[in-house]
Amino acid sequence: MERIQSALAKARAARDRKMQASKPGGQSAVESGPWYDLAEIPLNPKVLERNRVVAMHPGQAAASFDLMRTNLIRALRSNGWSRVAITSPTQGCGKSTVALNLAFSLARMADTRVLLLELDMRHPTLQGILGLEPSQNFAGMLASGTIDYSQIRRLGPNLAVGLNSKPMDSPAELLSATRTADMVDEIEAKLQPDVILFDMSPMLSNDDAISFLDQVDCALMVAAADETTSTEVDKCGKDLGKRTQVLGVVLNKCRFMEQEEPHAYPE
């Protein structure tokens, strides 16, 4: 029995070492193919820091996101999942900030390709948070019905993003369309990311996020301490739970923390 436990512990430690082997600026094993054909855009670290994107490099500021990604990747691997919706009960809880930090944190793991797609089409903010020129229109590409890989750009060896520079009215029809689901399937098949994060709309404002939930494996709910009420968390959790697996709630904007970092409470 002890030998089995020790073997299991060793296997777990070896797996963890591989997961933790962060390689900032490092390279994945395979460096050719459609993923590497995506155009890469440089980032300004000062803009990122100003906008609370702190998980590009390992360190204290990234620690809570690293913990979150480790819990997340374990849940994904043990269930054979890859698609994660990030949503919240209401606007402004920190979905986009959490999605970006989680994406950067995941992308530091060895051989983990992360695709972050902005599906909060009414209120696109990721380009602004990243300090990029408003040049991408991933939602417009979905609406056109034709995949254009120039609408997906890499931010590093393991992270690619599909962003929007203009808002779209009433995107629920687009988000629920079979053609949209087929296009996301095709993008996944071609780029073969290990994880796809979807930055979604808030759940309680309209039916945009709900319209796409059939296409994801699981969801994280971001709640803002002192802003989100327990009734909102409850209602959002119930609505999410009807359509997908709720992995947990990320409590963001905690004033009582020394540093304002989010904490995840996986279920």
- Candidates 59-67, 91-99, 107-115, 185-193; binding stretch for ligand ATP (CB under 6 A): 91-99
Pick between residue 82 and residue 252 the one whose CB is nearest to ligand ATP: 252
93 binds ligand ATP (CB under 6 A): yes
Of 96 and 151, which has the nearer Cβ to Mg ion?
96
Q: Could you give the string, one character per residue 228-257, with x where binding to ligand ATP holds by CB under 6 A and - elsewhere?
A: ------------------------xx----
Strand partners, 218: 84, 245
Q: Which is nearer to ligand ATP, 38 or 93 (CB)?
A: 93
Least distance in Å: CB of 13 to Mg ion? 37
186 and 230 Cβ atoms separated by less than 8 Å = no
C-alpha 34/C-alpha 179 separation (Å) is 22
Binding partner selected for residue 92 from Mg ion, ligand ATP, none, CB under the kind-specific 5 to 8 Å limit: ligand ATP
Which distant-in-sequence residues (6+ apart) come within 8 Å of 156 by Cβ? Answer: 25, 40, 107
CA 21 to each of CA 13, 14, 30: distance values in angstroms, whole numbers, following the listed order: 12, 11, 17
Applying CB under 6 A, among 66, 118, 120, 208 the residue interacting with ligand ATP is 120
Residue with Cβ nearer ligand ATP (88 or 180): 88
Which of 69, 95, 153, 154 is close enough to bind ligand ATP by CB under 6 A?
Answer: 95
Conformational region of residue 71, where left means phi above 0, alpha means psi within -120 to 50, and beta covers everything else: alpha
154 binds, among Mg ion, ligand ATP, none (CB under 5 to 8 A by kind): none
Residue 198's nearest CA partner among 95, 109, 267 is: 95
30's CB contacts (< 8 A; 6+ apart) are none
The rounded distance, in Å, linking the Cα atoms of 243 and 265 is 20
User: 174: which 2 tokens?
Assistant: 């687009």
Work out which of 91, 176, 192, 206 binds ligand ATP, going by CB under 6 A.
91
Determine if 52 is a binding residue for ligand ATP (CB under 6 A). Answer: yes
**Distance between CA atoms of 146 and 176, rounded to whole angstroms?**
17
94 binds ligand ATP (CB under 6 A): yes
Interface residue list for ligand ATP (CB under 6 A): 52, 88, 91-97, 120, 123, 125, 202, 252-253, 260, 262
